[in-house]
Amino acid sequence: MVTTVLVAGIGNIFLGDDGFGPAVLRRLSGDRETGVRVADYGIRGMHLAYDLLDGWDALILVDALPDRGEPGRIEVLRAEQSTATARLDAHAMNPEAVFAAVRALGGRVPPTVVVGAQVASVEEGIGLSEPVAAAVPAAAAAVEAVLANLRTRQEV
């Protein structure tokens, strides 16, 4: 039964479109039902790993996606969790490194959904590109839809 959900924005605001996750979290409504936590982790992978030790039923990661398509295109996908051990890197902020840290610390990675947008640029600089900035409202709506689906379906 899905009763607790962590919504985690990840990304580096100093690398252009990589700041997509934090931008979406700023757009989400502040009112949350019991059992839902919305947090901007930025590039603090170990912070997220330690918070995942609290035993969440589901995780929603909000992040920029590699440049594999039209910039600003929103994608919602279920993260496949490998049982293989990734190299533990306390300074890395990618899902594989965070999940490896959780497992190394004796925790369980909850079922995970990723809400992301295809990037245009991750060059140094503050601010999202025009197509990625335009995608922020749609991504916030997608996060809200995933949350509603999780809470009504009672599963991930």
pLDDT of residue 152: 82
Angle between helices 20-27 and 130-153 (to 10 degrees): 60
pLDDT, the chain, mean: 87
- 119-126 mean pLDDT: 93
Tell me the pLDDT tens digit for each residue of 101-115: 899 999 999 999 999
Task: Please provide the DSSP assignment of 61-128 as one string.
Answer: EEEEE-SSSSTT-EEEEEEP---S-PPP-TT--SHHHHHHHHHHTT--PPPEEEEEEE-S--SSBSS-
User: Is the whole model's pTM more than 0.95, yes or no?
Assistant: no
> pLDDT: is 89 or 153 the higher one?
153
CATH code at 5-153: 3.40.50.1450
Q: Could you give the 3-state DSSP secondary structure of residue 35?
A: coil
Cα(113)–Cα(56) distance, rounded to whole angstroms?
Answer: 13
pLDDT of residue 155: 59
- 3-26 mean pLDDT: 94
